[in-house]
Each structure stands twice: as structure tokens, then as C-alpha cells.
A and B are shown apart, each in its own frame.
Chain A
Amino acid sequence: MQRLVYQDLAAFRTLYARYGDLVYSTALRIVRDAHLAQDMVQEIFLRLWRRPDSYVAGRGRFPTWLISVARNRAVDEIRSRNRRYRYESASPEQQERELPSTNSVDPALTTELADQRRLVLAALAGLPPEQRQVIELAYFGGFTQQEIAQRLSQPLGTVKTRIRLGMQKLRAALTPELRWEER
């Protein structure tokens, strides 16, 4: 990252090679439009190229920061366009199948990220379906708690509780990853 400050194109190329697919996947899953997702990837990476200091190190390591940027940008996009795509929640088993294979070496991901992915999928699989559903609607669907309550025809208090309990469980299951994030 530091090399980007000095407009090191080779460093930028490496950064894209490492995380380009991850950012694209995140944007695509949320906006559900390949062209729009590509525009976002371009915007995100070029913004990073112009302003590498926009990376806020205190918010975790670079890859998770970058995908958060992609997620937030994509959610802003669908909110501003009022294009709400129903987030199709795939089961962890389905997602495992969609992945090149979490057991094989994925050239697009570092080993650390691939390990993290396995743990995140396992943590999500360990959640009760109703908790997982509200978390995914919020994070990937860009819905507020109020909107989720309306969507699911559930009381707002129930949605809040599900989010809180689900996130608590995720935090507990992902503690080693969060430590890694903080390292």
C-alpha cells in the first residue's frame, strides 16, 4: 500500500491482481448488474490509485477494508437508483459449490483470505436461518432494520434481536479472524 503513495504502477497491478475479483464479486452480488459492477470496480481502484491515503488502517486490514468500500459503494448505488434486488441467500453448501473450492488453491485469493473465507462460511452456517437471513438482507441487500421488518412481516424488535444475536455469534465464531484483522 505504501508504494501506491509513490504512484508505483507495479504495486497497483499486484493489488488489482490480488483483490480485483474479490471487489468485483462483492459489487456484482449486490448490484446484480455486470456493467455497473465493473464501473464500480474501476471507480474504487482508481480512487485508491489517486488517494491511497483513503485507506483507514484502524478499520482492519486492507482486504477487508477494500471489500467494505465495495459493499458500501454498491449499496449506495442500489439505494440511489432505488433498485432493490432481493438478496438471494445461498446456503453455505451452495456457496461452497460455487467457489472454485475452498480446499484447493484459489489463485485469486491469498491463502490467508481463503482460510478466512472458510471460517466465515462455517460461522454463517452455524447461525439459525432467521438470524442469517436478517444479517444478509442488511449487509448484502442494503436494507435497514425497519425495511427488513416490513419485508419479512416481523416486528421491528424481532429483527433487531435477530441481528444482535446473530452478530454476537459471528463475532464469537470469528474471534481468531478478528485478531488477525487487528494484528
Chain B
Amino acid sequence: MDCRDVKELLDAYALGAAARDEARALEEHARDCVRCWEDLNQAQRTAALLALSLPLQPAPAGLRERILAQAQREVSRPRSALRRPDLLRRGWPAAAAAFAAAAAAALAFAAFLQVQVADLRDDNRTLERQVSASAGVLEQQRQLMAVFAAPDVQELVLQPAAGAEALGVYYWSPGSREGFFLGSNLPALREGQVYQVWLMMGADALPVAAIQSGDGTGQAHMDLATIEQRPEGIGVSVENAAGADRPSSEPFLFASFSGE
């Protein structure tokens, strides 16, 4: 199936009316074709709006009680560390830190396993590392291309703070709700530090990407889908790799969206 075939079929697919084999062929194509993937997304969003045309029927009150009671029963069972009451009380940053800690522990264990395997299979290890690194680079390139290829891509050049010589450009697509930051000449990092990209929302700053780099360049893909509020600016600061709730120092790169 090529792009033309996809164009012919995507509306039927979005409505759930494509034959199974056609749907599968379309999915395979769209997985590797940024433009078709975008078109498909839009068709699916159009189709989803159709449900709003239905007359509203109130669900029985008993249903609400059943669902909430079941949810309540499930929350009162012992669950993972994430749902401990102390974490709930401590709120987002602590929970995020716990997430990070759990993820770090998982990563550490994964790394341990990898070393064990690698001891036995040196050649494979080298190969795997190369493939993994290439896959990471390719994935970043794919994300960057996806943002660039978006018909509504916008560009914003970040201004360096006084005394800084960093260069930064932010590209984003309101349509695909993705952004991409590219930076060079960034200030040197000490061990345990990262470049943290922030979206400024009034008095708050939302961390959207952390970049580790040893050569003063950096790039990061940002998924903006969950950001409800329109940001007022974007900034980049140097932060501890463990994470920060807000910039601990003045961003060395900054741009305001108000000029849009």
C-alpha cells in the first residue's frame, strides 16, 4: 500500500469500515510514513467527534455507585509503592521522584542483567550497543522529522541570557502537539547535571525535557499532549540530574511566546 492508497482508505479506516486486510496494510504503511500517520490521526479525530452527535441518555444512578464502589475496593487493596498514602499526601514532586527512583532501580537492574549477558557474549554486547545507540539516534531523528514535517510547524529562537553564548531553537507543531528543542554552545555541565527545558506557565515552570550531553550540544523531543495550559515562554537551565520542580537558576536560554 502506498500513500495514494492510504489517502483513499483512511476515512473508511477512521470510521472502522475498512476490511481487515486493508486496515492492516494501512497501519503498516502509516507506521513508517509521517505524513500518512498525521492524515490518519486527523481522520480519526474527525470520526471521534461523530459520537457527539448522539442524543444524550442519562446513565442509571446505580451504575455510578457500582463503578465507584468497585474503584474504591480496588484502591483499598495493597498496591504498588506508588499508591502509598504518604506519597499521595506528598503530592506530585515526591511521587515523581518515587517514579524516578523506581525507574532508576529498574534501569540499574536491567543494566546489571545486561552486563551478565555481555560477559558471556562480548560480540553480541558490542553489536547490541551499536544497534541500541543507532536506534536511539534514529528515533530522535524520526521525532524531529515528524515535527519538521508537520504542516503547522513553528519556530522560535531562544535568546541567551547576558554573558551566555548558547544557541537554541524550539520547533513545535500545535497539530501534533509535539515540540523539539535543538541547542548548541550550551554551558559545560558538571557530573550529575543536565540541561532542563522548561515551559513557563505564569508563576510556574513545567519541566518538559532533560538533556544529558558532554559536548555542549543537545536536542530533546517534547510530548505536549498533556499540557492543557498555553505556555508563556520556554527556557533552559542547568539542573541537577535528579530533577527540579522549578529552575534553580536563571535560564541561560529563554524565549517568550507572546510575540506569536
Binding site for B on A (CB under 8 A): 1-2, 5-9, 12-13, 16-17, 20-26, 28-29, 34, 38, 41-42, 45-46, 49-50, 57-60, 64-65, 67-68, 70-72, 75, 90, 92, 95, 98-100, 106, 108-109, 113, 116-117, 120-121, 124, 135-136, 138-140, 142-146, 148, 160, 163-164, 166-168, 170-171, 174, 177-179, 181-183
| A contact residues around B74 at 8 Å (CB) | 46, 49-50
Q: Is the CB of B51 within 8 A of A167?
A: no
Q: Is the CB of A16 within 8 A of B67?
A: yes
**Which listed residue, B11, B75, B174, touches A183 by the CB 8 Å rule?**
B174
- The residue among B17, B72, B87, B92 with the most chain A CB atoms within 10 A of its own CB is B17
**Which listed residue, B19, B223, B225, touches A144 by the CB 8 Å rule?**
B19
Query: Which residues of chain B from 39 to 58 have a CB within 8 Å of any chain A CB?
Result: 41-58
**In whole Å, how far is B27's beta carbon from the nearest beta carbon of chain A?**
14
- The residue among B12, B41, B43 with the most chain A CB atoms within 10 A of its own CB is B12
Q: Is the CB of B68 within 8 A of A16?
A: yes
Shortest Cβ distance from A113 into B: residue: B52
Q: Once the chains are docked, how many angstroms separate the CA of A183 from the CA of B92? A: 24
**In whole Å, how far is B201's beta carbon from the nearest beta carbon of chain A?**
15
Q: Is the CB of A163 within 8 A of B15?
A: yes
Q: Is the CB of B51 within 8 A of A71?
A: yes
Q: Is the CB of A120 within 8 A of B52?
A: yes
Q: Is the CB of A41 within 8 A of B63?
A: yes
Q: Which 10 A-B pairs have the closest CB atoms?
A: A57-B225, A98-B55, A138-B17, A24-B59, A167-B11, A138-B15, A67-B51, A64-B48, A68-B48, A25-B57
- Is B32 at the interface (CB under 8 A from chain A)? no
**Contact code string B21-46 (vs A, CB < 8 Å = 1, else 0):** 00000000000000000000111111
Shortest Cβ distance from B58 into A: residue: A21
Chain A interface main SS type: helix
| B contact residues around A42 at 8 Å (CB) | 63, 66-67, 70
Chain B interface size, as a band, is: 35 or more
| B contact residues around A124 at 8 Å (CB) | 50, 53
Q: A1-B226, A9-B68, A49-B74 are in contact. Are A177 and B16 (CB under 8 A)?
A: no
- The residue among A23, A98, A113, A120 with the most chain B CB atoms within 10 A of its own CB is A120
**8 more A-B contacts (CB under 8 A) besides A5-B82, A9-B72, A177-B49?**
A2-B226, A26-B54, A59-B44, A59-B45, A75-B16, A99-B56, A144-B19, A167-B47
- Is B177 at the interface (CB under 8 A from chain A)? yes
**In whole Å, how far is A92's beta carbon from the nearest beta carbon of chain B?**
8
- Is B176 at the interface (CB under 8 A from chain A)? yes
Q: Once the chains are docked, how many angstroms separate the CA of A178 from the CA of B38? A: 13
Q: Once the chains are docked, how many angstroms separate the CA of A116 from the CA of B59? A: 21
Q: Once the chains are docked, how many angstroms separate the CA of A24 from the CA of B8? A: 32
Q: Once the chains are docked, how many angstroms separate the CA of A168 from the CA of B174? A: 21
Q: Is the CB of A49 within 8 A of B46?
A: no
| A contact residues around B55 at 8 Å (CB) | 25, 29, 90, 95, 98-99
20 contacts between A and B (CB under 8 A): A2-B226, A16-B67, A20-B63, A20-B64, A24-B57, A26-B54, A34-B60, A41-B63, A50-B74, A59-B44, A72-B16, A95-B53, A108-B58, A139-B47, A140-B50, A144-B19, A146-B19, A163-B11, A177-B49, A181-B49
Q: Once the chains are docked, how many angstroms separate the CA of A141 from the CA of B50? A: 13
